[in-house]
Chains A and B, each alone.
Chain A
Amino acid sequence: SQQGEEDPQALSIQEGENATMNCSYKTSINNLQWYRQNSGRGLVHLILIRSNEREKHSGRLRVTLDTSKKSSSLLITASRAADTASYFCATYRPYNNNDMRFGAGTRLTVKP
């Protein structure tokens, strides 16, 4: 089964607003990653947060990780129409450096 589950499944906001997506996972992790997928394209890596980190920033992206709740959130601030895409979280299965599983994703639509 998939390791991570994103919430919500779909999110629609206006340009300039913030978008928050959540990811829950089932087992212990070494790190958690977020990816973006534009329609019909391959996934692009956004950010990696390690299990001993609680928060990480990259430009307009802010990722938090709560290992006690087995959850992570991705915040996109001051969203733009170009942020319209699907966003996925991914984790490696426990004790396996190469088995990476993805959640079902959040479809974000940013209206101009």
Chain B
Amino acid sequence: NAGVTQTPKFQVLKTGQSMTLQCAQDMNHNSMYWYRQDPGMGLRLIYYSASEGTTDKGEVPNGYNVSRLNKREFSLRLESAAPSQTSVYFCASSEARGEAFFGQGTRLTVV
């Protein structure tokens, strides 16, 4: 039972490049989330998905897009990366109002 799997674990991008962060969960959860964590700060919610086919903006959605491909997978796309998007990105899943399970994170550096 892998839980929540994120790929890649590390990535360096040049300003203006695009990339997609992948996330998959095997716990049959309806809800999935993308957070970013900057040094010394807590997690800030970028987007979430309550169920397959639905997505909603969180606290800091600007500069990002998401796709809930199916119940298992929830991807985060940076269309034109900026240095301000340098961060650690976490994907999580849960049942509604329940305990969240997190992936190990993607460390993204934009130069």
Residues of A within 8 A of B (CB): 1-2, 6, 30-31, 33, 35, 40-45, 48, 88, 90, 92, 97-105
B56 cross-chain contacts in A, Cβ below 8 A: 98-99
Closest to B3 in A: A42
Residues of B within 8 A of A (CB): 4, 31, 33, 35, 40-45, 48-50, 56, 58-59, 90, 92, 94, 96-105
In this complex, the member of B42, B101, B102 whose beta carbon has the largest number of chain A beta carbons within 10 angstroms is B42
B45 cross-chain contacts in A, Cβ below 8 A: 99-101
CA distance A44 to B35 in the complex (A): 14
B94 engages A100 (CB within 8 Å)? yes
A48 engages B58 (CB within 8 Å)? no
* The residue from B40, B50, B103 contacting A42, defined by CB atoms under 8 A apart: B103
A100 cross-chain contacts in B, Cβ below 8 A: 33, 45, 48, 94, 100
CA distance A44 to B105 in the complex (A): 12
| 28 sample A-B contacts, Cβ–Cβ < 8 Å, listed by A number | A1-B59, A2-B42, A2-B44, A2-B59, A31-B97, A33-B100, A35-B100, A41-B105, A42-B4, A42-B103, A43-B90, A43-B102, A44-B102, A45-B100, A48-B99, A88-B42, A97-B50, A98-B48, A98-B96, A100-B100, A101-B45, A101-B59, A102-B35, A102-B42, A102-B43, A102-B44, A104-B40, A105-B42
